[in-house]
A and B are shown apart, each in its own frame.
Chain A
Amino acid sequence: MIRFEEDLHPRRLKRLGVSVAVLALAFVLVGGVFAAYGVGPWEAYRTLLEGTLGDSQGLAEVLRRTIPLLLIGSGLTLAFRVRFFNIGAEGQLLLGAVASGAVALFLPTSVLSLPLMFLAGAVAGGLWALPAAWLRSRMDVNEILTTLMLNPVAGYLVIYLVGGPWRGEQVQGYTYTDAFPEAVRLPLWGQTLVHWPTLVLGAVLAVVLQVLLTRTPLGYALRVVGESPRAARYAGMPISRVVLLTGLLSGGAAGLAGAGEVAGIHYRLLEPTQISIGYGFTAIIVAWLARGHPALVLLTAPLMGLILAGGDLLKISLNMPFRIIDVFSGIMLLCLIAGESLSRYRVRWGT
């Protein structure tokens, strides 16, 4: 007889092993979807790997996709630790792009312009998460639904702006703003689209949030509220303030990513689907893989960056729809949460 026993405190090695196993399973399942679509799984994975890891331009593409995932992912890791399931990073990113775009387009340029763009982006992204955090902390409204619902609202706001009041004077027939002044464009790494200042910012944020979470009294409060709200209440911790702060921080991180995308790559505000290819959703997996440790995002963000860049490649070289990324994301998420549960059990043989 096989018996399952609960294992409430699985060892780290076991959790790691289960994670690797479920990720492998996810790749097998996605391979099955490739086959159903009519593309050989080997061919698809070979294209994906050769075009990303085996090519310097491909590596740069991976890095470019990693940047927003690093920022959003470390913020979400923190939020998930507090059990604030912020699914609205996509919208928060867009609001960050809007606010930094406003700074770039309508304020006179100076040395302060770029820092101001990122600051505005962070504030706007944080504020976009705030209603959901407030509703959750005051009225117990499910934040998954509210943050999610605010994504399309942010999208329509951007569409309205770039097609209406902010539409460029020099552009004809297109829906985007005028180009940002040269002074507010981020420097790039050689001939790539890697805006390295944002990359550095992302790496620093991941480490800072890790330190905040593990080495400060505030981080302690965050952890207690996440792990045991009841204990937090007994200890007199300001739970609703912790939730509000978590919303602000995770939304702010997504806002920074939005500022980076427009200041580093596009140099203008444009259609929402062009600003973000679903970074806010992919970052959920980045954060889930990081298991509550913002610093681990330094590893998990490049992994998902690889998959996003690989999706681009599959689209171009194998003529696949970009939806393949949703398939990857969905299957990986399902396997990850299933694996999380599985690692909480031990298999026992015998009676």
Chain B
Amino acid sequence: MTEEVLQALLRALSFGTPLLLATLGGIVNERAGVVNLGVEGMMAVGALAAFGLASASGAWPMAVGLAALLGALAALLHGFVTLTLRANTYVSGLALSMLGLGVSGLLGKPYEGAFLFESAPELPFTLAAGGLAVLLWGVLFFTRPGLVLRSVGENPAAADALGIPVLAVRYLAVAFGGALAGVAGAFLSLAYQPAWTDGMTGGLGWIAVALVIFSGWHPLRAVLGAVFFGLLYYLQFRLQSQSQVPTELFAAMPYLLVVGVLALAGVRRSRGAAPAALGRSYQRGER
């Protein structure tokens, strides 16, 4: 029995790793005031890029680096459209998701169904994600750069008045979020199921977007959220073979939970926890 619980927890941690990585990235860019709904697309791009490089060279750390770079570049595209051109943040993120899924599915066609001979170990990713959560917690709440980041998300006009380059900070935060989404994708195609299939991100990016809200924009609570959703995924697999409940219900459960979580956040009015300038573009002299 204890062995089974341990097993479940281990699998939950593994399922939760890409969620945690993408969520931490989301927390950073939302703390700076930028919403990016393109996580799913950036993950897909990261997954393909990492798989492509790893199957060609076999060097998985380099593959992870490439995924991070491409994720960051994709995020910068979103940054340009929303921060510089000040277009609709939500539609831009949605478009980025479509684009990422589309381009990765298209260019990944030669790899469709291919496997990786040497898969990357899962443990370093999980440890890195956990360590990063603690690190981000420390940086966000106890250091000056963290304060700068948060002030840009809370009150960009005041931050600007203090001489903080609001736009630059936001661009950096967005790129960081994209890089982590790319790494989350790399985890999927290098370690979790060392293979490439179109659509392998399977909605994890959207769950991560919701987890950012679920966590109350707090890195440590994101760990809890990721493990919780990881357990949910594990149970979906575990229970579908042996229960009377239709498997589709388990499959739909994460999405229903996200709606539930959003509703709860609405009830608790935890909007108080959300960065005050979240999703709003900033222009000097504009109130």
- Using a CB–CB cutoff of 8 Å, the interface residues on chain A facing chain B are 33, 36-37, 85, 87, 131, 135, 138-142, 144-146, 148-150, 152-153, 156-157, 159-160, 164, 281, 284, 288, 320-321, 323-331, 333-334, 337-338, 340-342
Q: Are B248 and A160 in touch, CB under 8 angstroms?
A: yes
**Closest approach, in angstroms, between the C-beta of B107 and any C-beta of chain A?**
6
Find out whether the CB atom of A333 lies under 8 angstroms from the CB atom of B266: no
> Which of A37, A152, A321 contacts B198 (CB under 8 A)?
A321
Provide the main secondary structure of the chain A interface: helix
Q: Are A329 and B98 in contact (CB under 8 A)?
A: yes
The closest CB in chain B to the CB of A140 belongs to: B266
**Chain B: minimal CB distance from A23 (Å):** 14
Most chain B beta-carbon contacts within 10 A, residue among A138, A150, A329, A333: A333
- Report the Cα distance A33→B98, complex, angstroms: 14
Chain A positions within 8 Å of B91 at CB level: 85, 284, 288, 333, 337
**Which residue of chain A has its CB nearest to the CB of B88?**
A337
Count B interface residues, CB 8 Å.
Answer: 46
Q: How far is the CA of A131 from the CA of B107 in the complex (A)?
A: 38
Q: B115 contacts the other chain (Cβ, under 8 Å)? A: no
Q: Is B256 an interface residue (CB 8 A)?
A: yes
CA distance A333 to B259 in the complex (A): 25
Query: Which of B99, B101, B104, B109: most chain A CB closer than 10 A?
Result: B99
The 8 Å CB contact of B262, one of A141, A157, A281, A327, is A141
List 13 A-B residue pairs with CB atoms under 8 Å apart, sorted by A's residue number: A37-B106, A135-B262, A141-B263, A152-B203, A152-B252, A152-B255, A159-B248, A321-B105, A324-B102, A327-B98, A333-B95, A334-B96, A337-B81
Give B41 Cβ to nearest chain A Cβ, in Å: 7
In the complex the two chains form, what is the Cα distance from A135 to B198 in whole Å? Answer: 33
- Beyond the given pairs A149-B259, A327-B99, 12 more chain A to chain B contacts, judged by CB atoms under 8 angstroms and listed by A's residue number, are A36-B107, A140-B266, A149-B258, A156-B252, A164-B246, A320-B106, A321-B106, A323-B104, A326-B101, A327-B106, A330-B100, A333-B98
Q: Does chain A have a CB within 8 A of B238?
A: no
Specify which of A142, A150, A327, A338 is in contact with B85 (CB 8 Å cutoff): A338
For A150, give its contact among B88, B209, B210, B255 (CB under 8 Å).
B255
**A325 touching B102, Cβ below 8 Å:** yes
